Amino acid sequence: MDLYGRAFEILYVDNLDRIARYIPILEQAELLAIDTETTGLDPLKGAKLRLLQIAMPNTPVLIIDFFKLNNAEKVILGNVLEKSNAVKIFHNAKFDLKFLHVNGIKISNNIFDTMLAELVILSGLAKTGYSLQDVSVKYLKIELDKTNQKSNWTGALSRQQLKYAAMDVYILSGIYVAQKEILESLCLYDTAMLENQVVIPTYKMELHGMYMKNSSVLSLLIDIEEEKAELEAVLQGMLPGVKNLNSPSQVLKALNALGLDVRSTASDILKPHQADYDAVKKLLDYRTINKRCSLFESLQKEINPTTKRIHSNYKQNMTSSGRYSCTAPNLQGIPHQNKFRSCFQASKNNVFIIADYSQIELRIVAEMANDKTMIEAFNNNEDIHKKTAALINGKSLEDVTKEERQSAKAMNFGLVYGMGYNGFQAYAKNGYGVDLSLDEVTGIVDKFFRTYQGLTDRLNELNVRRTLEERTMGNRRRAWKHLPPITERANSGVQGTGADILKRALVLLNDNLLNDDVKLICIVHDEIVLEVPKNQADAISKKLKRLMEEAGAFYIKKVPIIADISIGASWADK
């Protein structure tokens, strides 16, 4: 068969006898390109694995029809792939690995995902450009014909379908070679390898899913909808003429009529006015309630009818910082209040171990800025917010009031990224309920930066350097086409380092702790949730804490990284 001027052979396999002579080659190969064709997108919702394609140097592309193999043949093939030490090249490996796992093939080492590699190379420069079609054109100048991608894979296979299946896997090794060279030239190979390693625990987490008690959600939804209806009734009186509270034009007109001079109803525009306009406060409350209502309605729809669990889609590297995002549904968007998280419960005889990194963001800031005052506070196990309040107000830690600590919390999370006077004033008021005059803000900000000299030096250096890329402590890159604000540049390295730490922790967990009994079921930024047998929880929690802190210490050398651990029957037991 010919692929745009490149000749290659295809061997259709409906029993393993047909490839008996290739099994030793499979076992000894240094590179295996692997792809699948399936009858749908979700192996937990009835979709089947139809074809497994394997490409190796100097051999035909093997197209193995899983509908034709018997169970014994699947076991033999699985053993070969599981024991192989070859680099296994995929594009969107998580998708293929889930289907293979459900079919008894658990590949667990030496993954190279060309989609994840391309996202590492792009480093946030573009939100597209990482599809197989995109990387094929970029590296091989081959434009793939994807006509057969959504064709019927359940019946007799056409020659065109076989050619399509072969093409997708045949090109992967060429893309791998090109990407590897670029990753090394950009000093990003280690970041790509971290992403490739963490594919394994990520796909397993999606397959495990998380149990949600439907009756609890129904009860919660009733309360949320009642609260939403009450707010709607109040707002109808406060904003006359507004028939649809989700209509920006109607709401804007009504707010202008109240004397509020704004040109947008975006939340960040309205928040500074909520103290002066009760209608704005009620409108923002309504939006929060409406969002929660939509979220929990979607959760019900996402309960898998077979497993009775929610199986979210965790996207490893789709954010510019490298942090995980989550969809279908977004479990990372579940509010922290007990009434929401208590809906998520451990199975019978199991418990949740909920672990999160303590003040990880500020610990990373201290390290990156080499700020001696911050470093000393963390090494002395001091409350960093109390420490800031004490230093700013000139008093002892014991004398710091609750209000002063809250104000210091706003400083620590706002000013560390270079926020200006006006920005900090709004941030403190809207985010922390701290109302400060501009004179007060000026004094606080100036004293804060005099106090934390290392942090000041870092921000000054960023202002002078003004480059279009920043790196994390793990050398992950964030790049821009145009110079962003200093706040974004200062934040990117911190958020990205947090992502590096969490992902390294997941790799350590996969290698040293996770098994059929100990399951990773959820991650939220710096939080990891395991479901484990109740009688093993104490021992497992100690090992989890050690491995998470080991992952942090790989990058952060000057301050201790602390993982806080809770054990309980639901996600609320934190």
Q: How confident is the model at residue 3 (pLDDT cuts 50, 70, 90)?
A: low
Instruction: Indicate if the pLDDT at residue 1 is higher than 60.
Output: no
Instruction: Indicate if the pLDDT at residue 4 is higher than 60.
Output: no
CA 172 – CA 180 distance, rounded (Å): 12
The residues, any chain, with a CB within 8 Å of residue 83's CB and separated by 6 or more, are 27
pLDDT at 429: 86
| Residue 76 Cα distances to 12, 81, 82, angstroms | 18, 9, 10
pLDDT at 380: 97
Give the residues across from 90 on adjacent strands. 113
pLDDT at 134: 97
Query: Taking the mean position of all CA atoms in its chain, how far away is CA 196?
Result: 14
pLDDT at 226: 94
**% of the chain with per-residue pLDDT over 90:** 90
Angle at 546 between CA 541 and CA 550, to 5 degrees: 145
Instruction: Indicate if the pLDDT at residue 549 is higher than 80.
Output: yes
Q: What tens digit of pLDDT does each residue of 136-162 get?
A: 999 999 999 888 888 999 999 999 999
The Cβ-side half-sphere exposure at 510, using a 13 Å CA radius, reads 21
Give the residues across from 234 on adjacent strands. none
pLDDT at 145: 87
Q: Is 305 exposed, middle or buried (0-12, 13-18, 19+ CB in 10 A)?
A: exposed
- Domain 325-360+496-568 in the same topology as domain 213-302: no
Does the structural domain 325-360+496-568 have CATH classification 1.20.1740.10? no
pLDDT at 260: 93
| First and final C-alpha spacing in the chain | 59
CA 263 – CA 273 distance, rounded (Å): 13
pLDDT at 298: 87
Q: How confident is the model at residue 262 (pLDDT cuts 50, 70, 90)?
A: very high
| Residue 19 Cα distances to 26, 54, 164, 258, 360, angstroms | 10, 12, 21, 77, 52
Instruction: Write down the H helix ranges in 433-536.
Output: 438-451, 453-465, 486-512
Mean pLDDT of 518-536: 97
Pick from 194, 130, 192, 122: nearest CA to 478: 122
Q: What is the CATH number of domain 213-302?
A: 1.20.1060.10
Mean pLDDT of the chain: 94
As a dihedral over the C-alpha atoms of residue 206, residue 207, residue 209, residue 215, rounded to 10 degrees, the angle is: 130
**Hey, how many other C-beta atoms are within 10 angstroms of the C-beta on 136?**
22
Instruction: Indicate if the pLDDT at residue 198 is higher than 60.
Output: yes
Q: How confident is the model at residue 426 (pLDDT cuts 50, 70, 90)?
A: confident
Does the structural domain 2-186 have CATH classification 3.30.420.10? yes
Q: What tens digit of pLDDT does each residue of 106-128 get?
A: 999 999 999 999 999 999 999 99
Instruction: Indicate if the pLDDT at residue 5 is higher than 50.
Output: no
More confident residue, 327 or 3: 327
Q: What tens digit of pLDDT does each residue of 440-480 get?
A: 999 999 999 999 999 999 999 999 998 999 999 999 999 99
CA 188 – CA 3 distance, rounded (Å): 31
Q: What tens digit of pLDDT does each residue of 35-53 get?
A: 999 999 999 999 999 999 9
Query: Taking the mean position of all CA atoms in its chain, how far away is CA 349?
Result: 29
Locate the domains of the chain by residue range: 2-186, 213-302, 325-360+496-568, 361-475
pLDDT at 391: 95
| Cis amide prior to 57 (ω within 30 degrees) | no
